[in-house]
Amino acid sequence: MKVVIIGGVAGGATAAARLRRLDETAEIVVFERSGYVSYANCGLPYYIGGVIENPEALTLQTPESIFARFRVDMRVRHEVTALHSDRKTVSVKNLETGEEFEESYDKLILSPGAKPTQPRLPGVGLEKLFTLRTVEDTFHIKDYIQKHHPKSAVLAGGGFIGLELAENLRELGMEVSIVQRPRQLMNPFDPDMAAFIHGEVRRHGIRLALGHTVEGFQEKDSGVDVLLKDAAPLHADLVVLAIGVTPDTALASKAGLELGLKGSIVVNDRMETSVPDIYAVGDAVQVKHYVTGQDAVISLAGPANKQGRIAADNICGGDSRYPGSQGSSVIKVFDLTAAATGVNETNAKKAGLDVDAVILSPMSHAGYYPGGKLMTMKVVFEKGTFRLLGAQIVGYEGVDKRIDVLATAIHAGMTAVQLKDLDLAYAPPYSSAKDPVNMAGFMVDNLAGGVLKQFHLEDVKNLPRDGSVTLLDARTAEEYAGGHIEGFRNIPVDELRERLGEIEAGKPVYVICQSGLRSYIACRILAGYGYETYNFAGGFRFYDAVTNDRRLIESATACGMDQ
C-alpha cells in the first residue's frame, strides 16, 4: 500500500507516524510546500519575542529524524499542484529545482492547513506588512525587527496569534495597537468575559481600536498607515495581518471534492472526503461542533492531531470515528490565563439553544493558604435539561486545570448540576475543599431546585426605579462608598436581619454584592421571611469590569483608539 500525504505539521505528520506504527511495509510519502515538515505553530510569536531563543526549538521533527525512526519519505519544498483522482496521482513541483512530476497513490491524505486571511484591500503586499503562519513568516518578521528596530506596530486582528504576538512585541518595547471589526478580542469568549482580557491588555499599555473596519494600508513617513472606516488612520513602523485563517483548499476545489463552510473540505466522521480513497484532516476540514452538532471550522492543533490518527487508522483497516470538535483552548495574556471550552452563551443562543449561565469568582486555592488569586468563571448550560454546554475562565493560577475538568465533563455528557458531585483533588496549595468546579455545580443545583433565582447584567438597566421593587447592595458601607449601581441601597448582609423593617414586604428584592456570595446569603435570609429574591450573577466586581470596558470601547469607537 502506498499513501501520499499532502502537508505535514500537525495532521499530516501525525498521520504519517500512525500509519507506520500500524503498517511496517506501507510506502509513505509526504509533500510539504514549506521548508519545515513538523513545527510548533503555537510557539511562533514567542520566538519573535525572544521567549524561545533557539530557532531549532520550533522544529519538532526534521525529514531526516522522521525517516530515521519511521522510514517515511518526507519531501519539503515540494508543492502539489493538482490531484487526479481518476488515475490516483498527484502533480508535484520541486520548488528548489523546478522539476515537475506525477506521484501515484493508493490512499491520499490532504492536510493542507489554513492560510492567513488576506483581505482584498489597497496596500496589501507592502514591504512592512506581514502575516504570521509559517516558520518562514516568523523568521521574516524577526529579521525585520532585528535590522530595522521598529518602535511601533499595529496588529489587524485580535485572535490567538494576534494577542500572543501583541504581548511579545510589547515585551520588546514596541508601542502596540490592535484593531479589528468585532468589538472584542478573542471570539471564543462572550463579550462580558472578554472584558477581563481587555483590561489586562490595556494594563500593559496595548491600545485597542475595537469595532473598526480596516479599509486599506498606505506607506507614509517611513511606516504604514492603517486606514480605518470613519476614523483617523493608525500609523506604525510595521503591520501584521492576523485577522484569521482560511482553509487552504484550492487543490481540493479544483479536484471536485465537496466543499463546505468557508470553502473547507467536507468529510465524514472517518475523515473521508466525497472522493473515494481521499481523506482530509486539520484546519482545512469541516467538522461537527461537539456541543451544537452544527457544521464548523475549528483551527486548533489538538483536533488536527486526532484527525490525522483517525485517518491513518481507517486507511489501515480500522474503524475510528471523530466525534466532533469542542473548541477547548487556553491562552496566556501577559500575567493572565484565559481558557474556554464548548460553546459560549452568545453562540449557544445563535444556535437556537435556550441557555442560562452562572458566574462566580472563586480563589485558585484555599483562602487561608498564601498566594491564592481570584479567577472569574462562566459556566453555560441549557435551561430545563441543565445540559452542560460550555465554560470560560479568566484568572491567574489553576485556570487550565478547571477548564480541562469542564471540557471532560462536557465530553462525558454531564449536566451542569452533576459538577457538584465530581470528586476532585484537594490540598490547600492547589484547591479548596469545594473546588471552583464543584461551586459552579452547587450554584446550578440551587437554580434547578428553585433555591436561587438570578438576574444578569443585561437586566440591570431595565429594573424599575419607581419603588415597585427593592434594589439592595449587601456589601459593607466602605465597599458601597467605593462604587455602586445607581438605585441600589446599602444594607450589609450581617445587618440584614436587624434591618428587615427597612425592606418593604410584598415587593421583589434584587440583591448584589462583590462576587455573588454575600448577596446569595442575603437572598436566603430574605426568603426565610417571605420575600421574593433575585441574586445578581457575577457580583459588582464583574458588573464594574464589564461596564467600564464597554465605556472604553464606546469612547474608542468615537475617537478611534482607547485613551
- So which residues are the catalytic ones? 42
What crossing angle do the helices spanning 301-315 and 11-22 adopt, rounded to 10°?
Answer: 30
CA proximity to 393, closest of 375, 412, 413, 417: 375
Beta bridge mates, 136: none
Contact criterion met (CB below 8 Å) for 223 and 152: yes
The DSSP symbol for 272 reads: B
Query: How far apart are the C-alpha atoms of 176 and 204, rounded to whole Å?
Result: 10
- Report CA 104 to chain centroid distance, whole Å: 39
Neighbours of 102 (CB within 10 A): 11
Contact criterion met (CB below 8 Å) for 210 and 556: yes
CB crowding 543-552: b at 16 or more within 10 Å, else e: bbbbeebbeb
Contact criterion met (CB below 8 Å) for 203 and 552: no
CA proximity to 405, closest of 477, 498, 339, 475: 339
291 phi and psi, to 5 degrees?
Answer: -85, -50
**Length, in residues, of the chain:** 563
Sort strands 223-228 and 231-236 into parallel, antiparallel or unpaired. Answer: antiparallel
Which alpha helices (H) appear in 355-435, and where do they start and end? 399-411
Contact criterion met (CB below 8 Å) for 361 and 538: yes
